Amino acid sequence: MSRKRFVDTREAEATTVAKAFDRYAREVSALKKGARQELTRIKTWSDGKYGSKSLAELRSSDLAEYRDAQPGCRIINQHHKAIARTDQPSVHGGYQGLGD
């Protein structure tokens, strides 16, 4: 069953990632103990290829692409992928994991 519900996306379409991060930096980051480090990350996102995207255009694949491009994440991601491959339903209907 589907619900027919209108979701207004105009604000998300009009707001870029950089604009949203700028507001977050002013209203939230400025009050944090680690503000300087967080502002560095915000600048990286805002000045990068995702900064000009609207919030409505941003996809989880963009976040995954950014994450995978970070130094040191490749090893962690390979580990997670290996775990995901072993945690698949078996032909017997159960899950293959450490216990099976």
Q: Identify whether residues 48 and 67 lie together within a single domain.
A: no
Q: Identify whether residues 41 and 17 lie together within a single domain.
A: yes
Domain count, the chain: 2
Within a domain: residue 46? yes
Domain range for 28: 9-58
Which residue, 48, 49, 45, is CA-closest to 21?
A: 45
Q: Identify whether residues 40 and 52 lie together within a single domain.
A: yes
Please give the C-alpha separations between residue 38 and each of 19, 22, 42, 46, 48, in angstroms, as whole numbers. Answer: 16, 12, 6, 12, 15
Within a domain: residue 34? yes
Say what the pTM is: 0.62
The 10s digit of each residue's pLDDT in 28-73 is 998 989 899 999 989 988 999 999 999 999 999 988 888 888 777 6
The 10s digit of each residue's pLDDT in 9-29 is 899 899 999 999 999 999 999
Please give the C-alpha separations between residue 46 and each of 2, 23, 53, 66, 90, in angstroms, as whole numbers. Answer: 37, 12, 10, 13, 44
CA 87 to chain centroid, in Å, comes to 23
Within a domain: residue 74? yes
Q: Identify whether residues 37 and 13 lie together within a single domain.
A: yes
